[in-house]
C-alpha cells in the first residue's frame, strides 16, 4: 500500500506503542548543547489540513488491517495479523499503525519537539479530529517546552485538556540556571516552574525530564539540589530521569574535547542522583525508563518509596571497587539491568572477560571506557 503519513524522529520510551502524528517538524529552539535529535532540520509548523490528512491516512491503514483480520477469520486474531504485517510492512506508516494496534490502539503521541507552539485553536482541532477518527483513543500526549507553556494561559491548557490532550512531556533537564545557561537551554528555572505549574493546574498529566550529569563534575551538587527544588515547586505526576550521553554529533562534544566541560563518572552521577532524591518533596512517580541510566531499578512513588530508592543506591555504593566496575560494564553492555543480575555467576564471568578486554587487563576502570560504551545510546 502506497499510502503513508509523516513520522518524526523520536518519541518518549513510554510512547513506544503510540500512533505517531506529526504536528510540527523539528524543534523551534534546537540550540541545546546536549541534544542532536533535530540538528540539520528546519523547524516548520504543519498546517491543520496536512495533519488532518495524515490522520485520515492512519485511519485508512487501521481499517485495512481490520479488514484483513475479518477476512482471515476471527480464529487467527488481530495479534497474528499484526505480526504478519510487522514482518514485512509496506512502509513505516503501516508499521506504526500495526504496532499501535498491537498495543491496544488507545494512545497517540503528537510529534515533533513542541506541539504546544501551535495556536491553541489549531491544536484543539487536531485533537478533536483524532478523537473523532479514533473513538477508542483514551490518551493523547506531546512534547512541549516550558517557555511555550509559560506563554499559554491556564485557560488555554484547560481547553486542550477538555478537547482530549492527556499528558505533556517536558524537558526540564536542570533546575539550576547556570547549568541551563551552560547548555544553551533557552529557559530559566523560573520559566520551568511557571510553565509546569500551569500544566498541573490545568489537569493535564505532566512528565518532567531531568538529566543526571548535566552539570558535569563542577556543578553536580547545585544541579542536583536546584533541580529537586524546581521539581518540588512543580510537583509533576512523573519525574523521568536521563543520564548525559555525549558523542561527536552532540554540540557539547566540542567542550568535552577541549576540557571545558569535565564529565562526571557513573559513580559521581549516582551520588548526584542520591542528592536529588533526598531533596525531593513531591507526590510524583519517579521513573528511570531509559537505557542511559545506570540504575533503571530506581523507580517508585514518592514520598512513600524514597527509602527504597535510597536503599538501592546504598547497595550500589556498598559494592567493592571491583564489583562496581563489573556492574558498570555489565549494565553498559546490556547484560545487567538490576544489581541482582550480578548474582548470576555465568553472566558475572562474561562481564569480567569483557571488562578485562576493555581495560586491557588493568584493574582500574577509567570513566572514558564507560563513556565510549554509552556513545551509541543517542
- Tens of pLDDT, residue by residue, the chain (378 residues): 468 999 998 999 999 999 999 999 999 999 999 999 998 889 999 999 999 999 999 999 999 888 888 877 655 677 787 888 788 888 999 999 999 998 999 999 999 999 999 999 999 999 999 999 999 999 999 999 999 999 999 999 999 999 999 999 999 999 999 999 999 999 999 999 999 999 999 999 999 999 999 999 999 999 999 999 999 999 999 999 999 999 999 999 999 999 999 999 999 999 999 999 999 999 999 999 999 999 999 999 999 999 999 999 999 999 999 999 999 999 999 999 999 999 999 999 999 999 999 999 998 999 999 999 999 777
Residues in CB range of 263: below 8 A, 6 or more apart: 213, 216, 217, 244, 246, 256, 367, 371
Could you give the CA distance from residue 363 to residue 366 in angstroms, rounded to a whole number?
10
Contact between residue 137 and residue 104 where contact means Cβ atoms under 8 Å apart = no
H helix intervals, 73-140: 77-87, 92-102, 120-133
Q: Which residues of 240-264 are buried (b: 16+ CB within 10 A; e: fewer)?
A: bbbbbbbbeebbbbebbeeeebebb
286 burial level (CB within 10 Å; 0-12, 13-18, 19+): buried
Specify the pairing of strand 139-144 against strand 107-111. parallel
How is the chain split into domains, by residue range? 1-144, 164-318, 321-378
Which cell is 142 given? 506531546
pTM of the predicted model, to two decimals? 0.94
Could you give the CA distance from residue 105 to residue 103 in angstroms, rounded to a whole number?
6
Contact between residue 333 and residue 351 where contact means Cβ atoms under 8 Å apart = yes
In this predicted structure, what is the pLDDT of residue 82?
Answer: 81
Contact between residue 90 and residue 1 where contact means Cβ atoms under 8 Å apart = yes
Number of Cβ within 10 Å of residue 162's Cβ equals 12
67 to 61, 71, 95, 258, 315: CA distances (angstroms): 10, 6, 16, 58, 53
The fold of 164-318 is Transcription Regulator spoIIAA (3.30.750)
Given CA atoms 352, 356, 361, 366 in this order, what sign does their dihedral have?
negative
Given CA atoms 159, 163, 167, 172 in this order, what sign does their dihedral have?
negative
Amino acid at each position: 500500500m502506497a499510502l503513508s503519513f509523516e513520522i518524526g524522529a523520536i518519541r518518549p520510551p513510554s510512547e513506544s506503542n503510540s500512533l505517531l502524528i506529526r504536528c510540527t517538524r523539528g524543534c523551534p529552539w534546537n540550540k541545546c548543547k546536549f541534544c542532536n535529535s533535530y540538528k540539520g532540520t528546519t523547524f516548520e509548523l504543519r498546517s491543520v489540513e496536512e495533519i488532518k490528512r495524515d490522520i485520515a491516512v492512519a485511519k485508512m491503514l487501521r481499517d485495512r488491517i481490520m479488514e484483513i483480520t475479518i477476512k482471515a477469520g476471527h480464529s487467527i486474531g488481530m495479534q497474528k495479523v499484526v505480526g504478519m504485517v510487522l514482518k514485512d510492512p509496506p512502509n513505516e506508516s503501516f508499521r506504526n499503525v500495526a504496532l499501535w494496534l498491537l498495543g491496544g490502539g488507545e494512545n497517540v503521541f503528537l510529534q515533533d519537539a513542541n506541539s504546544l507552539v501551535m495556536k491553541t485553536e489549531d491544536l484543539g482541532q487536531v485533537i478533536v479530529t483524532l478523537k473523532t477518527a479514533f473513538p477508542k483513543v483514551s490518551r493523547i500526549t506531546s512534547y512541549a517546552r516550558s517557555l511555550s507553556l509559560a506563554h499559554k494561559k491556564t485557560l488555554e491548557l484547560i481547553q486542550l485538556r477538555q478537547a482530549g490532550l492527556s499528558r505533556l512531556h517536558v524537558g526540564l533537564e536542570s533546575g539550576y540556571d547556570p547549568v541551563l545557561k551552560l547548555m544553551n537551554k533557552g529557559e530559566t528555572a523560573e520559566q520551568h516552574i511557571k510553565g509546569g505549574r500551569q500544566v498541573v493546574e490545568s489537569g493535564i498529566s505532566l512528565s518532567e525530564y531531568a538529566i543526571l550529569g548535566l552539570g558535569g563534575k563542577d556543578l553536580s551538587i547545585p544541579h542536583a539540589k536546584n533541580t529537586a527544588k524546581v521539581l518540588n515547586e512543580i510537583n509533576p505526576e512523573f519525574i523521568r530521569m536521563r543520564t548525559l550521553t555525549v558523542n561527536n554529533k552532540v554540540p557539547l562534544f566540542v567542550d568535552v574535547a577541549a576540557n571545558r566541560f569535565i564529565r562526571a563518572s557513573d559513580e559521581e552521577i549516582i551520588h548526584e542522583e542520591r542528592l536529588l532524591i533526598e531533596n525531593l518533596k513531591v507526590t510524583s512517580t519517579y521513573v528511570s525508563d531509559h537505557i542511559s541510566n545506570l540504575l533503571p531499578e530506581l523507580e517508585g512513588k514518592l514520598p512513600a518509596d524514597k527509602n527504597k530508592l535510597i536503599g538501592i543506591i546504598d547497595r550500589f555504593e556498598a559494592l567493592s571497587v571491583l564489583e562496581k566496575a563489573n556492574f558498570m560494564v555489565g549494565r553498559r553492555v546490556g547484560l545487567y539491568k538490576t544489581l541482582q543480575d550480578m548474582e548470576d555467576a555465568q553472566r558475572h564471568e562474561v562481564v569480567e572477560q569483557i571488562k578485562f578486554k576493555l581495560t586491557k587487563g588493568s584493574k582500574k576502570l577509567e570513566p572514558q571506557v564507560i563513556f565510549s560504551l554509552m556513545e551509541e545510546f543517542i
